[in-house]
Amino acid sequence: MDRELNEKVENMLSQIKPSLGGADVLLKDIGEEVVTLEYRRPLSNPSACHVDRTRITKEIVVEILEADLKKIIPGFRKVVLIGEG
């Protein structure tokens, strides 16, 4: 992975994590048009935080990520989430 691009993506991920409703994503790979991230679903304990975790789905996480990644990766097309479903 390109170090500069990797840092940009890592910075973007750290900035948007609060909007993921408790879900977590870790950068695994940056390809030509695809970014692969490890997905960790939100905690199931509703009293752990004030965030309504029931409304955040994997699809919503992908939408949030794709919108921001398009801004920093030329030619970006798709997020692939691996891990917990």
How many domains in the chain? 1
Residue 19 amino acid letter: S
Range(s) of the domain holding residue 75:
3-83
In this predicted structure, what is the pLDDT of residue 29? Answer: 94
Distance CA 85, CA 78 (A): 18
CATH code for the domain of 26: 3.30.300.130
For every one of its 85 residues, what pLDDT tens digit does the chain have, with 9 covering 90 and above? 588 989 999 999 999 988 887 888 999 999 889 999 999 887 665 555 555 555 678 888 899 999 999 999 888 999 999 987 5
Distance CA 12, CA 67 (A): 11
pTM of the model: 0.79
In this structure, what token pair is assigned to residue 59? 């699809």
